[in-house]
Every structure is written in structure tokens, then in C-alpha cells.
């Protein structure tokens, strides 16, 4: 029924001390099941991070219950929930689990804590900072780096003008990216952003632990909150999301291209090679021609229609993965993306 599509997807996180993650996990799972919510929730001793979808009635009840949970009292507030149109159909199922970190950076929270985070800027403050940065950058005299903390396939379809977008495939490569490019951040003011703000909490703490930057700022509420206030601001393109929608849009901009013919295109599909989990931008007319894989190696596999025993898993290993250096080294002046609109 069409009516069942009229729901929403919530994105939120809360850093707080969780004495009994297993107990919180069980409670959370029961709550989501009771409200017929689908999605993913990560629980750890450092807090909770979730993205869940369901009917509007269910999501608003969920927020109410979360805000009244004693663990999150006075830490989590209504503002911390980012919502977008969607519903339970946006996720294949419900997954609630206990992890070491609520965002997988691969660094023990005891070593780099969310408590050492950068300075939070509201969307308005961030907007002003970016505006100032862009006007300085055109005169070639900026002491600021606008850093996208997300993965390459996220920034490819949407990013802030003039940002530095690391060519990394996983957030767990971010610390090495910082280590390998320390020179780049020396004495700089860093403006960081990510989807909902959570990667910046740990990412900024990691960057600050290196003691090379002048200041580290981060966008509170992430791109999500920024777009609510500035749908036509300095963020161009779509916002990548980790569910079956792949992207949400605030303006009609398309900034990326079809991998095969170069026509403007920003709607991802999974690579058609059975075991590959890469996303590919391939436009409808290239799809019709059967160009549906992320790289020539995978395309070959598709054509051979893998007659191999399905016992073999070829997950994530293809030309694209092998060709991309795991951690790119930036050449002294950061590879700035086009600062023009």
C-alpha cells in the first residue's frame, strides 16, 4: 500500500557512559521490534548510534521513549534526531548489536575519546565559516582546510564546495589518512563535516590528538542538519545515506558522472558482479547496454556469468579496490575540488 511508504528514517547518536551494553542492546531491540522499526543500531560502552525507519507514529514514539530513557537524560535531545522521508522499507531488516565503538574508526575509545572532540559549529556558524573560507581561497590565501570525513563514494555524489575529500573507502582508514598527511594539517584551521556528525566526533578527537592543527571545528548535526537550513547553500549534490535509498536530495544538482559514458548521473547501483559490494554510477542507457559492473574485472565476471562453484567468495577484491591506494597521500597543496558553483 502506498500509505505504508509515508514514514521516515531517523538518524541519531548519543555518546554517554553505558555500564551494561548488553542490557541496553536487548532493550533497544525489543523497542524497535515493538514499533516495527527496521534499520541498524550500534551499542557500545561509549554510547549508541542508530538509523531506523518506520511509520511517522512509530518514529515519533521512538524519539519520545529514547528521550525518557534515564541513560540519555540531559544528553540526548529532540534536536539530535535527523529525519528524512522514508520508512521501514528502506532497510532489509533490523540489526541491533554490541560493538567496541559506535562508529567504526578502529581506534580504542579509551585511547581517543569522543570527549576530546573539536569545537561544534551550528549550521549557521558553519555556513559563515565556509563562506569566508571560499572567499579567501579564491584569493589563494586560506589558512583553513574544509575536510570531508566521509568515504570517496559519499563525497563523489555530493560535497561542500572547495572541500578536501579523502579518497578512502572506509572510515577506519581515516586515522591513517591523517597520519600520512600530517604536513597538510600543520598550523591549519580545520572545518570538518560528515553525514550526521558522528564521524566528526571521533575524527576531530583523533586529529586533535596529533597536536598539529591550530583549531578543529566540526559541523553539528552534520550535512543532514545543514541542508535543513540551507537547502541551496554551499553543499552541492546529493547526500549519501547507508540504506536502500542510497541518497537524499535537497536541490536538483548533479555533480557526478556515469562511470561509462560520462553523462551527469548520481544514482548508485550495486556492482552486478555477484560477490562485489562496490557501488557503481552507471546511467540507464549504459545499463541497457549491460554495463553494470564497477570495473572491467567485474564486468568480465558478469559476462562469464560465473559458472564457478558458488563456494568461492570474491568479496570486495576487484580492480577498483586494488588500484586505489588504501590511504592516499595528498600533494602538499590539497587537491581542492572545484570552488565554483
Known catalytic residues are: 194
Residue 147 contacts residue 191 (beta carbons within 8 Å) = yes
Contact of 14 with 20, CB cutoff 8 Å:
no
Alpha helices, DSSP H, located in the chain: 21-34, 56-68, 123-138, 152-157, 174-180, 182-185, 198-209, 222-229, 284-288, 296-303, 319-323
Cα 270 to Cα 92: distance, rounded to the nearest angstrom: 15
Distance CA 341, CA 339 (A): 7
**What are the cell numbers at 183?**
604536513
Alpha-carbon span 256 to 267, nearest angstrom: 9
CB 75 within 8 Å of CB 131: no
Residues 70-89: b if buried by 16+ CB within 10 A, e if exposed: ebbeeebeeebbbbbebbbb
Amino acid at each position: 500500500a502506498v500509505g505504508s511508504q509515508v514514514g521516515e528514517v531517523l538518524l541519531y547518536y548519543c555518546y554517554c557512559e553505558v555500564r551494561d551494553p548488553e542490557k541496553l542492546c536487548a532493550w533497544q531491540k525489543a523497542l524497535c521490534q515493538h514499533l516495527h522499526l527496521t534499520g541498524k543500531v550500534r551499542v557500545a560502552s561509549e554510547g549508541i548510534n542508530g538509523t531506523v525507519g518506520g511509520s511517522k507514529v512509530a518514529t515519533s514514539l521512538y524519539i519520545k521513549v529514547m528521550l525518557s530513557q534515564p541513560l540519555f537524560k540531559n544528553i540526548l535531545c529532540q534536536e539530535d534526531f535527523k529525519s528524512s522521508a522514508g520508512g521501514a522499507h528502506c532497510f532489509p531488516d533490523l540489526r541491533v548489536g554490541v560493538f567496541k565503538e559506535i562508529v567504526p574508526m578502529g581506534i580504542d575509545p579509551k585511547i581517543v575519546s569522543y570527549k576530546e572532540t573539536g569545537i561544534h559549529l551550528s549550521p549557521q556558524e558553519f555556513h559563515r565559516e565556509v563562506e569566508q573560507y571560499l572567499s579567501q581561497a579564491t584569493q589563494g590565501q586560506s589558512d583553513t582546510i574544509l575536510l570531508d570525513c566521509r568515504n570517496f563514494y559519499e563525497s563523489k555524489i555530493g560535497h561542500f564546495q572547495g572541500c578536501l575529500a579523502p579518497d578512502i573507502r572506509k572510515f577506519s582508514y581515516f586515522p591513517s589518512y591523517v597520519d600520512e598527511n600530517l604536513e597538510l594539517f600543520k598550523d591549519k584551521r580545520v572545518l570538518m563535516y560528515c553525514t550526521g556528525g558522528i564521524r566528526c566526533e571521533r575524527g576531530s578527537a583523533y586529529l586533535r590528538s596529533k597536536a598539529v592543527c591550530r583549531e578543529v571545528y566540526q559541523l553539528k548535526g552534520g550535512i543532514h542538519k545543514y541542508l535543513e537550513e540551507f537547502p541551496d547553500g554551499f553543499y552541492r549534490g546529493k547526500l549519501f545515506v547507508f540504506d536502500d535509498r542510497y541518497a537524499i536530495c535537497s536541490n536538483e544538482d548533479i555533480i557526478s558522472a556515469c562511470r561509462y559514458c560520462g553523462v551527469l548521473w548520481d544514482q548508485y547501483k550495486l556492482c552486478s558482479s555477484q560477490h562485489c559490494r562496490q557501488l557503481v554510477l552507471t546511467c540507464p542507457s549504459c545499463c541497457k547496454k549491460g554495463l553494470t559492473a564497477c570495473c572491467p574485472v567485474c564486468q568480465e565476471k558478469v559476462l562469464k556469468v560465473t559458472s564457478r562453484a558458488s563456494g568461492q567468495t570474491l568479496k570486495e577484491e576487484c580492480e577498483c579496490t586494488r588500484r586505489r591506494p588504501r590511504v592516499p597521500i595528498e600533494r602538499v597543496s590539497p587537491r581542492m575540488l572545484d570552488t565554483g558553483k
